[in-house]
Amino acid sequence: MNNLTADDFLNQQQALEDEARELMPWDPKHCTYSLGALKQQVYACRTHGNIGVCYSCSIRCHTSCDIVELFTKRNFTCDCGTERDSRVDPKSKQKMCEIRENREPDVAASDNSYGPNFKGLFCDCAQEYDADSPTVMIQCVMGNECGEDWYHDHCIMGVEADSVSVKPEEMSDADAVTERHLENFPALDSFDAFICWKCVSKYAPYFQKIESSELANDIVSQTVIHGKDDKSVNAEGKRTRDDDTKPYSIFLKKGYQEALGKLSDSIKDNHNKLHIFLTQIAPQLIKDEEEYEPPAEEETILDIISKSLYQSINRAELAAGSSALYKLQSNLKNFLQPFAKNGKVVKEEDIASFFQKPK
C-alpha cells in the first residue's frame, strides 16, 4: 500500500466504483417484500436454504452469501427476513432484513414457486449457468409448468451438446452475435419468445387449437420437436403428422401477444376452454406484467466524494502520498456521519465546504 501513489489510489477507486455500478445499476434501498408478488429480478441464496430475495436484499442482507442470479421471475415475493430465511436466528432479536428492519420473521408468501433454479440449476439437464459457454440459453415465456426455466438450445432439441453441428457462416461474421448457431435451431432473430415443450405438452389441446386457428401465422414462428430426431423441423417449420405425439416447443413471432389477444377476443363464448386458457391460465401470453425496476441509483456519497477529490484537492498535495488521502478520508467520514445519522442527503456544496475548511 505504501508504494501506491495517490493517482493509483484514485484510479483504483474509480475502477472499483465503475465495477460496482455495473453490478449494481439500481439503488439498493428498497426491499420489494411489502409490494407483494411481482415480476422482478430474483436472486437465490444458496447459503440460506435456496430462498429467493429481491435485488436490494441480495446486496444489503445476503452480502457474503452464495448468490445465484435468476433474472426475472413472475409473481415472486422477496423471502429475505421471512420465515423461510435462516440468515438470522429469530431468538436473537436482530434485524431479520437489513432494509425492513423487522425483528421477527415476516410471513412468507405462499405462492412463491421454488423450482431447481433456486438451487442454481437450469434447464432440463439441471446444470449450473456457465457464463463462459457460447451455448445460447432461452427462458420459457409461459413458465406455468417449468417455473420460467432457462434452456440450452441443444436441450430444447433434446440432443447432446456435441452431437449438433454449428452453422459455420454464423461464426465468420465478425459483427454478428458471437453465439454459436445450431443446425435446425431457429435463428435468434427469427422469433420473439419461446414456450418450452413441458409447458406446451401440459396444455397441448389449447396449443393445437392456437396452431390451427386463422391467426396461427401471426403467432407461431416455428415449432421444434424435443427428441433425438435429425429432422426435428421441416422446411416450413411445420411438424408432420407422425410427429404429432412427440413433445415440441413453440417459437413465437414478434407481435404474438396482439394476435393471441385478437384470438381470445374473437371467442364470444366465455366458457370456451381456449378463451379460459388465454385469459386465466396463461394471460401473460397476451399481456405480460411489467417488470418491477428498483429506483435508479442516485448519485452516491462515494460519487460526490471522488468527484470532489478530483476537483478540489491540490494535485501536488495528493502526490505527497496516499497516507494524506487516508487521513482526509477518515476526516471526511467524521464529517459525513451526522448526515448519515439524520438521513440527510449530502449535497455537493456540503462536500465543497468540507474541502474549504482549514485543516
* 68 contacts Zn ion (rule: CB under 5 A): no
Using the rule CB under 5 A, which residue among 47, 102, 135, 308 binds Zn ion?
47
Residue 201 found at the interface with Zn ion (CB under 5 A) = no
Task: Tell me the backbone φ, ψ of residue 168, rounded to 5 degrees.
Answer: -65, -35
- Tell me which long-range contacts 306-309 makes (C-beta under 8 A, separation of at least 24): 306/10, 306/13, 306/14, 306/17, 307/348, 308/348, 308/351, 308/352, 308/355, 309/10
User: Least distance (Å) from Zn ion to the CB of residue 122?
Assistant: 7
Nearer to Zn ion, 79 or 218 (CB): 79
Smallest distance, Zn ion to C-beta of residue 46, A: 8
Should residue 54 be labelled a site residue for Zn ion when binding is judged by CB under 5 A?
Answer: yes
The residue within the footprint of Zn ion, chosen from 48, 73, 209, 226 (CB under 5 A), is: 48
Q: Which stretch binds Zn ion (CB under 5 A): 18-26, 176-184, 198-206, 221-229?
A: 198-206
Alpha-carbon distance of 58 to 69, in angstroms, equals: 9
Report yes or no: 44 and 51 within 8 Å, Cβ to Cβ.
yes
Rounded to whole angstroms, the Cα distance separating 295 from 314 reads 36
Closest distance of CB 147 from Zn ion, Å: 8
Select the residue interacting with Zn ion from 59, 61, 282, 286 (CB under 5 A).
61
# binding residues, Zn ion (CB under 5 A):
21
User: Residue 79 in contact with residue 61, Cβ under 8 Å?
Assistant: no
Nearest to 48 by CA among 38, 34, 62, 68: 62
Quick check: 44 binds Zn ion (CB under 5 A)?
Answer: no
Helices 348-356 and 301-312, interaxial angle, to 10°?
A: 40
Q: Which amino acid is at 357?
A: K
Per rule CB under 5 A, is residue 80 in the interface with Zn ion?
yes
Asked whether position 199 contacts Zn ion by CB under 5 A, the answer is yes
Does residue 65 bind Zn ion (CB under 5 A)?
yes
Q: Which of 44, 123, 305, 351 binds Zn ion (CB under 5 A)?
A: 123
Q: Are the CB atoms for 232 and 296 separated by under 8 Å?
A: no
User: Grid coordinates representing 226?
Assistant: 424435443
Residue 125 makes contact with Zn ion by CB under 5 A? yes
- Output the CA angle 282-78-89, nearest 5 degrees: 145
Q: Which of 42, 44, 146, 285 binds Zn ion (CB under 5 A)?
A: 146
- Of 6, 9, 28, 31, the residue at the interface with Zn ion (CB under 5 A) is 31
Of 226 and 318, the one with the shorter C-beta distance to Zn ion is: 226
Specify the 3-state DSSP secondary structure of 182. Answer: strand
Binding residues vs Zn ion (CB under 5 A): 31, 45, 47-48, 54, 57, 61-62, 65, 78, 80, 97, 99, 123, 125, 140, 146, 152, 155, 196, 199
